[in-house]
């Protein structure tokens, strides 16, 4: 269970809360919102880009297009200070979703629309994070994509590979 306090370092709890925010946004109709998760080079920090599906690599369901600038970026080094929000640890997940849509209006605008296949896959990400495993699609020193499995921060837990983004509608 996350500590949800800004003064307590809890990288896994903070990351799980962020992922729950993405699931909340999916429920609100932003199903074209995706994550691009990985590990920072030369540190144990987990990073996560929150990106509209149209800005993802069309052949790789968990990586952004090269040079993409339309994304919200988070690192567990920020703990509960999501996107520079000083009160992120005190916000509820629905409050975070509201704040995300206000803060990242451009990302939100491009993420409105159905993608039930991805939203359903994303539930497996939530379950894995609840078990202490965060998804890893990129990292220096880690092997590339393994067939249909996505690595996590737990060597014994893999996820199905996310579906490729749908074509623009």
The Cα 47–Cα 36 span in angstroms is 8
The Cα 128–Cα 130 span in angstroms is 5
The Cα 168–Cα 92 span in angstroms is 32
37 close to 48: Cβ distance less than 8 angstroms: yes
State the alpha helices, DSSP H only, in the chain: 11-27, 93-103, 105-111, 116-130
What is the value of pTM for the model shown?
A: 0.90
pLDDT averaged over every residue in the chain = 89
The Cα 96–Cα 87 span in angstroms is 10
Query: How far, in whole angstroms, is CA 7 from its chain's centroid?
Result: 23
pLDDT at 2 over 90: no
DSSP 8-state code for residue 157: -
Mean pLDDT to the nearest integer, 59-71: 88
pLDDT score of 3: 43
The values of phi and psi at residue 14, to 5°, are -65, -40
pLDDT at 39 over 60: yes
90 close to 79: Cβ distance less than 8 angstroms: no
Mean pLDDT to the nearest integer, 41-51: 91
DSSP 8-state code for residue 79: T
At 61 the three-state DSSP class reads: coil
Pairing of strands 72-75, 135-136: unpaired
Among residues of the chain, what percentage have pLDDT more than 70?
Answer: 88
Least reliable range by pLDDT among 72-76, 148-152, 159-163: 148-152
For residue range 90-138, list pLDDT tens digits in order.
Answer: 999 999 999 999 999 999 999 999 999 999 999 999 999 999 999 999 8
pLDDT score of 27: 98
pLDDT at 4 over 50: no
């Amino acid at each position: 269970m996350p500590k949800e306090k800004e003064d307590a370092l809890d990288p896994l709890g903070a990351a799980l809360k962020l992922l729950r925010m993405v699931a909340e946004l999916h429920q609100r109709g932003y199903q074209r919102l995706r994550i691009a998760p990985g590990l920072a080079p030369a540190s144990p920090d987990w990073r996560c880009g929150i990106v509209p599906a149209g800005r993802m690599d069309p052949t790789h369901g968990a990586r952004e297009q090269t040079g993409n600038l339309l994304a919200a970026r988070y690192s567990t080094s920020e703990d509960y200070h999501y996107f520079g929000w000083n009160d992120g640890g005190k916000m509820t997940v629905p409050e975070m979703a509201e704040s995300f849509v206000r803060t990242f209006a451009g990302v939100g605008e491009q993420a409105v629309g159905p993608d039930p296949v991805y939203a359903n896959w994303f539930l497996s990400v939530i379950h894995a994070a609840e078990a202490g495993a965060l998804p890893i699609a990129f990292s220096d020193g880690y092997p590339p994509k393994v067939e249909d499995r996505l690595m996590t921060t737990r060597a014994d837990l893999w996820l199905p590979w996310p579906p490729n983004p749908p074509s623009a509608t």
